[in-house]
Each structure stands twice: as structure tokens, then as C-alpha cells.
A and B are shown apart, each in its own frame.
Chain A
């Protein structure tokens, strides 16, 4: 008999970026929720890079915000520099990134958690999941307490059997020397869950006072700051910013790395986990791209109240002495003092093919998971999964339908579909090239895409919902006006066209036609658009994009409608595919292993051919007619 027993609707294991979103979503939906962490002081910790967002990750944060998540609001409160990346490129790849004050970020999130009703925070290590007949019953802590729950969300991040390594030093700790969770893996394995071992790494933190800033280039933030959250008033975030700095490695740096490469645990074989290809250590880069003469190093502040600086681009697991040598070859860092060493970290995570698109384990009802535990990487990827897992746990407890976003609705949909459909052998990072309908999935229209869904779930309030509905109408109205408004070949117009290097009009045309010209846009036409109503900049931006890129957008919409047809054909997840005689053996094996949720998902499994899909369609039709 355990000495302590309590009951909750939902247990969340872990209070990192995934755990926080999961816990907040459940509690805000009115469910009694408890969230466990090995250290209360490390809630929403940022143990690696000191920023939120960036290419495609910024999209995730925007989408999460539109659905009613917390990350966007939290970074708006705690950022110290902000930049819109890719501004010279198309609107679909504009991406917001903000430098965070790490401690402030963590503290703000903790404050939000502590002030949310129905939410209990508990410092304890969960060591067992309790499963009865394929259904989750609760969890047990290392100290022996039992917490019963109707659903459990696992968000253990990089803490499971974690090991931090540099040179021949190997510490059995989680990130930043925090206590690892060494017991839960055994319980998961005992319950039939397949585990992987992944690896990632982080660069050294150095003392700002030891950097010679006269030798390196300053990287200031944007003049006009755009907030992450659709609920944040843009005026409220226009503030003083802190700069980042840019310097480069050189031949000497690379020589030192090459000469000591045999002392790297990655090359000596001491590290067994699979690392990501997109965020390689500096030694990986030097070995893999020997022709590159230099690599960029961004020096980023860790916060306003600390001298620690993050050396982005130089993560490493080389021994301490080599770290000193190589960092000190970099201009500006000749006298640098290391505050914390660079290290690689290894941890247990799961094979995410074991999950449904709702992030529930196929084999254990009521058990959900999110974040790096699912084999992803990055704060933003973690946060959105935590949110989705939390919402789905809540939906199940409330007896409502599972909440799944598909690849045509959101980057979140792409991320989760990839995780639960494709073989993944390295920490998964979001990339814009993974989103096949990315022209439609822009960061500027995340609210138009997802606010309503967030409202239906119950995490977006009336005010925000009505705001976006009204915005939608204004956009529609203005598009119609612009499409219909005739422009004559009068002197004023011709003068305008001539000034902007555009062909003069022979006959009349519409405003929309002019917007479509490469050298013009909606904003420039203000001069000749005499009856333009007063509209907000965000509405104007949508009007401009919709008209300017209409042809491309229409093509992607056509593709989406094809895609939706296949997604809507649902498959029974208990189905045994060996019953379908005409499927090829490889397809049967893959389909039985994946148990896809729809024909669409089945078609994305590698090893399932279009012919197999045709056979399945015929089989489904047979079953339908038999019923």
C-alpha cells in the first residue's frame, strides 16, 4: 500500500516547454491537473539557445498562440531583442525570432502556472506509470506516492537516463547539471514502449567582460518590433533592445579541432545516441565540410541580469582544455573566460511511430506524450506537442472528439504527422521545406487559420475570437473592393506608374491588376486609390498577399482539396492488414506496424505504394457495402 494516494483528472510529467503547455491547457479547460518536475526552479527552462522562434519555429509559436497556448505571450513579456527573419523573401517564410531573458522567461511561466486555477505543481520524480488492461491509471513517484489520473501526459524532455559528456568527462545528469530521471524508462519498457536514445549538444557560456567587442560586428534588433502573440498590443512591446554579436572561426580554430578530434567522445564512440544533422557541433562541421574556411559564431546574451553569453554555432563535446584553445582562436574571444562548458547530452526518448495523431499511445489508452520525449528537438516543437497532447488528454477525459490538425492546416499538423508517420532516427526539427502547403501556412495568417479552432476547444476567449472574425470580414470586403475598383488611364495614374517604373496604361484596369504587377503592391497604391477605407495594417497585409500571390495560392488550395479527400477516408486502427490478400507483403508489414488513421496517412508511409492504396480503397468499399 502506498503511503499517499491522490486523484486528479490529469497528470503531466515534466514542466519544460511541453509540460507547461499541456498542464495549462488541461487546467484552463477546468480539469484538475497536477504537473511534476524534478526541480521547481527549472520550470520552462531554456537550457540551450537563448531565443524563441526563428525560421518555421516562429510559425509554430504563432500557431500555438492562435490556439490559446502560452509560449507567445510569455516571450512577449520577456524578450530582450526581436527580429523578423527572411523579410526580403516571400511572406510564407517570414519568421519571427526573439532573444529571451532566460531567467525572466522561466520565472514568468512559473508565475502563470502558479496562478492558474485547477493546477497543482509538485516537485517529485515520477518513476512508474500505472497501467491496467491497456489503460493508464496513474503514476507513482520515486518516493512511493501514487497519483491516480484519467489521463497522463509524458513530457520528460531530455531528462530520461540523461548523461552529459565532454571529452572523457561523463556526468549522469540532465541539462545544466540538473537531476536526471533514471527510473521511468524501465517502467515504460516494461509496458511495451519502444525506446530510442538521442543526443544533442550545446556550446559554452562565457563571461561578457572577457569579450573584446571592438573586433566583432554588432547585430541589433529590428526597429519596429512585431509581437509573437495575436493578443499582445504591438505598442506595448516597442522597447529598448540588447544586441547580439557576430564573429567567425578561422583556420587556426579548425586546426585545433582537427588535431584533437580523437579526443571527442563523438568520434571515439563514447556517445551512442543519434544526434541531429541540422545543429551539428563545431567539430562535426569542420569534419563534414572541410572546404569551408570559416563558420559564423553568434554571441548572444543570456539575459539582462547576467554576464553570461551564448556562443551560437560552436556547440561541442571536446575536452575542456580543447574548448579553451579553440574558443580563444576566435576574434573577440582571445581572452575569453568560460562560465559553463560546452557539452553533449544523451537521453532516452520514444519511437514516435507508437503514437496516434492525437499523440496518445496506440497501445495504452489515456497515455499521451509530447516534446523531446517524442524524439523532436527545440523549445517550440516541444511546446506545440505538449499543447496538443494536453488538449487531447482533456478532450478524452471530457468525452469529446480527439483534436488533430492536418498538414494543410498548420505546421503543427506537419510536425505531428511526420512524427507519427515517418521513420525518425534523429531529433526532429521543424523546417519550412517540410510543409508542402507552406504558402497557405504563413505566420501572418495563423490567427485566421486557427483562432476559431482554439475557440471551439475552449482556450480562446470571446473577445479574441470576435476580433479575428471581424478581421476576416474586413479583409474579404477590401479584397472585393480592390478587385472591382476601376482605374482609368488618367494623368495622375500614369504619373504614378512612371515614377515606379511600371508600364503605362493603354486602357482602364482594376486596382487588383496593378497590385499583381511585380514592381507594385497594395501599399504603394495608396496614392491613386482615392476611396481606400481606413483599415489596420494587418488587414492591409492580408489583402496585399491574397491578391499579389493569387495564382500560387490558388494552386496550393487545389492541392489541398485533393489531399483532404484522402485524409477524410478513415481507417480502423485495430484492423489487421494481412486480411487483404492483394496487398504486397512489405505494405502489410508497414501498415500493421503503423496502423494509420486514414488513407492519407497510409499513403505517406514509406513502403506503401499507390497501388496498395488503390487496393485498400477497394477493400474499404467492400466493407462499407457489406455493412
Chain B
């Protein structure tokens, strides 16, 4: 449920999140204009968006405290004459992933909440701004966007972060369960002197959350970047390429076909572009079960990739396996690398380009020839808007950060409560809130966790 969302004002990035063109951050809800006023400074001194007529555009700066984030145009539309039917503010900024993120974060800190996937569309329909015939489409959009967000928000979370959050949640739940079992069975379980223990536990938990928050600022909570998959037949040179790009021995490189059995993942930067690089097992018909799983995963990964780098072994003629890969490249953004130019090429660059419809670059992974051209090509695609950041990722990171801040806020209320001498049954309210907030990050609802923990860990009487 939407528990804890007291604000009805939502915000999100309304355009594709890429480094090109103009970006729009949209705010909708009863406090949209108030929120915008908190971060917008008009070029005309003293002008407040709350005082301007509807459907007007204003020039000024978006500020986070005293720091100017960007020069923007702000459109104010009062409900019901807006897309959602509610008061709406659109902030047109200069684009750029970092700037858009910063602005959205500031908007959220100023009183809006991150929109759920498909929420603008949902509101537009519920407020009568879309006609009846669009209902089915609206429902499909909501369902599809959610599936996507769900799949992403958890899978993008780094394993170490997810483990840490789960550990923090366990620790919190234990404390709540202890207090609750004592409340339910006061004659068996005592709370005398318990707040001391609780304080000790929280003094360990709070810095951990603060640490995670710091990481969130550096974008290290989730594996962000363009999801890039390196594909190719066994021994075509995928792992060597990956090692060059990553700059260290990461994948095992041998001359025996099929040595990369699992998926390896690395995050790299090429100029301003961040790639999440996945090396996969080579694609070819195989009988080896372990390798087969790797091949299946490679195909899966390719399906979800934003960019495919297809490494062709130029010293061998193309075969059925290559054709299978070329099939997978359809309707995908891809770069073809014709590898092993240091040997005798039997595959033609032109022919390959015609077959695939994607740019082809000749390289030698072994001699590190052509790598610069590859990097240039990736930058080109990105800055010409041909490659998008997955916009769900950006907002996912912001939602995570939000949740961490909220959890921290709840724990601070617990400290305040202890200071004010509040009875333990008040403290559990905020402890449980913190638990729920952290659950949002790892995609776990509260459900019956507490009752199960009480019975599992504490011996109830009667």
C-alpha cells in the first residue's frame, strides 16, 4: 500500500533521461506550486509562482539551498486544465543526467514524493482528463511500467547493499519484536532497563544507514549506467575485450572455447558515459550443462541490454551461431567488432555491416588496436541521444535514497522519544516505520513479519 505517503504531490522526470536536449521535471498535486516555489528563484526579484497566472512560463534558477543547479524555464498550470487535472509545474532544464537527478532530488526534499510508475497517467484518467476509450491503455501502461520498475529496482540494487539493508532490517525487527512480545506477555518478558539496550542497537544501525546514504549520493547504491552486453561465439575475444575496457584481468582468458561460464559484470566509464558491462559465455550450441546455463543467461541479458557489443572472430567464417546472434541484434542498439585484425581476416567489414545494419569497427583485442574508435562510437551514440539511460534507474536511485532518509528520520524520532521518556510502545511505532521504509528498497512488504518474529524468537507464555 501507499503507506506513509502523506503528500499527494508527486514528481518525476518526464522526458527520457539522456545527456541530450531538454529535460523536464514534472510536479503534480495540490502542493505542486508551493514545492516549486521553494526551489525556484525568478530572475525578477521577489516573484512567486503562487502569484502568477495559470499557463505561464517563467525564467529563473533552480537552487538547492544557495547552490544554483541550473538555469530553467518553469511552466505553471493550475488544475483542472493540466495533463493530470491537478496543479502542475514543469521545470524545463538543460538536460544532462546529473542535473536532472539533482533537480528531482531537490524537489522531493522540498515536499513532493517520487511518482510511482505510471502515476501521472493514472491521475490524468482518474481526474477525468482522458476519455473512456483510453482506460484499457492506461491500465496497460500502469501494469507494464510497474513490472519494469519492479524488475529493475531490486535487480539494480547492488548485492552488498541489499545484504546490508536486509541485515539492518533484521536487527530492527528483532528490537520491535522484543518490545512487542513484552507488551503482549508482560508477565513473562520484562522491559526493565531495555531502552539502554535499544539505544546501543540503534547507535550501530544509524551510522550504517548514514553510510548507505552517502553512497546513494555517489550513485553507488545501484548499478547505474547503460546496460551493455558483450556477445560472440566462444573464443571470439569477448573476455580479452572486457579486460581491456576494465583495465585489469577480470575474466578468465584461455584459448579453450567455453571458459567464461558465468556472467561477469563491471562498471566502467568512457568519458562521460557510464557502462554496465556484462561478459557472457560464448553463444554456440552446447551439451555442457553448466555452460548451457551461461548461454541461456547471455541470451536473457542481451534481451534486456541497452547496448550490445558483438565480437566477431574475423579469422573464422561466419556460421549458424553467428546468424543466431545477428538475429538477436534486430531492433537493438549494437556495435559490431571485427576482431583479430592481427590475423588473416576471412570476414569482410562491408558484408558484416550490410548483414547487421550496425556500425562495424575492426579491432585486435590482443594487440589493443581499434579500442579508441570503439570508445568514440559509444560516446557518439550517447551524446546524439541514440542511447538513453534507463530512466527508471534514475528514479529508482532517488526512491532508494528517499527511503533511506525516511528510515533515518524515523530512527531519530525514536531517539527523541527515548529522550522524552516515552514508553516503549510508542518507540516501536517509529522503529516499525523505519523497518517498512528499508523494506521498500529491497522490495519486501511488511506483511506478517512482526508476528512471525515474535513467535519465532520469543517464548510466549500462557
Contacts and interface: CB of A to CB of B under 8 A. Distances in A.
B185 interface: yes
Interface in B109-138: 116-119, 122, 125-126, 128, 132, 135-136, 138
Interface in B408-462: 420-426, 428-429, 445, 447-448, 450-451, 454-455, 459-462
Interface string B141-164: 011001100100000000000000
Contacts of A606: 445, 447
A295 B459 contact: yes
Interface stretch (B186-194, B202-210, B396-404): B186-194
A614 interface: yes
A611 B117 contact: yes
Contacts of B2: 562, 610
Contacts of B136: 581-582
Interface in A575-627: 580-584, 603-604, 606, 609-611, 613-615, 617-619, 621-622, 625-626
Interface stretch (A177-185, A325-333, A427-435, A448-456): A427-435
Given A55-B185, A422-B448, A581 B139 contact: yes
Given A439-B429, A562-B2, A614-B122, A86 B139 contact: no
A279 B117 CA distance: 44
A315 B450 CA distance: 25
B425 A90 contact: yes
Contacts of A434: 451
A307 interface: no
A313 B188 CA distance: 10
Contact of A549 (B117, B125, B426): B426
Interface residues of B, number: 53
A432 B425 contact: yes
A618 B461 contact: no
Given A278-B460, A279-B460, A618-B142, A296 B187 contact: yes
B421 A519 contact: yes
Given A89-B423, A433-B454, A518-B421, A621 B125 contact: yes
Contact of B462 (A85, A312, A438): A312
Nearest to B2: A610
Contacts of B460: 277-280
A78 B398 CA distance: 60
A433 B140 contact: no
B1 A566 contact: yes
Given A432-B184, A617-B126, A562 B6 contact: yes
A86 B183 contact: yes
B183 A89 contact: yes
A603 B184 contact: no
Contacts of B150: 609, 611
B425 A292 contact: no
A433 B459 contact: no
Contacts of A518: 420-422
Contacts of B429: 439, 552
B453 to A, nearest CB: 10
A296 B188 contact: yes
Contacts of B186: 55, 85-86, 89
B180 interface: yes
Contacts of A289: 459
Nearest to A603: B1
A285 B459 contact: yes
B248 interface: no
B85 to A, nearest CB: 12
A36 interface: no
A315 B461 CA distance: 10
Interface in A287-305: 288-289, 292, 295-296, 298
A296 B461 contact: yes
B143 A621 contact: no
A604 B138 CA distance: 23
A34 B146 CA distance: 54
Interface residues of A, number: 60
A558 interface: yes
Given A285-B459, A582-B142, A433 B125 contact: no
A610 B116 contact: yes
Given A86-B183, A90-B426, A611-B146, A558 B139 contact: no
Contact of A618 (B139, B185, B426, B451): B139
A398 B347 CA distance: 88
A123 interface: no
A582 B451 contact: no
B421 A93 contact: no
Interface in A32-57: 49, 55-56
A615 B451 contact: no
A434 B447 CA distance: 10
Nearest to A621: B126
A69 to B, nearest CB: 23
Contacts of A422: 448
Nearest to B453: A433
A53 to B, nearest CB: 13
A368 B428 CA distance: 36
A610 B1 contact: yes
Contacts of A580: 139
Contacts of A298: 187, 461
Given A296-B188, A432-B183, A313 B132 contact: no
A257 interface: no
Contact of A431 (B116, B135, B184, B459): B184
A220 to B, nearest CB: 14
Contact of B451 (A85, A292, A431, A552): A431
A90 B422 CA distance: 8
A90 B423 contact: yes
A559 interface: yes
Contacts of A92: 425
B3 interface: yes
A89 B179 CA distance: 11
A546 B180 CA distance: 23
A558 B454 CA distance: 28
B126 A618 contact: yes
Nearest to A57: B184
A129 to B, nearest CB: 32
Contacts of B6: 558, 562
Nearest to B428: A433
Given A93-B183, A93-B425, A288 B461 contact: no
Q: Looking at A519, A562, A580, A584, which has the most chain B CB atoms within 10 Å of its CB?
A: A562
Given A88-B423, A552-B426, A615-B143, 15 more contacts: A90-B426, A92-B425, A277-B455, A278-B184, A280-B459, A280-B460, A432-B180, A433-B183, A518-B422, A566-B1, A609-B146, A609-B150, A611-B117, A611-B150, A621-B125
19 contacts: A49-B462, A55-B185, A89-B186, A90-B422, A93-B423, A279-B460, A431-B184, A431-B451, A438-B425, A519-B421, A562-B6, A582-B139, A582-B143, A609-B146, A611-B142, A611-B150, A621-B125, A621-B126, A622-B132
Q: 5 smallest A-B Cβ distances: which pairs? A: A611-B146, A90-B423, A582-B139, A277-B455, A518-B421
Interface of A: 49, 55-56, 85-86, 88-90, 92-93, 277-280, 285, 288-289, 292, 295-296, 298, 312-313, 315, 422, 431-434, 438-439, 518-519, 549, 552, 558-559, 562, 566, 580-584, 603-604, 606, 609-611, 613-615, 617-619, 621-622, 625-626
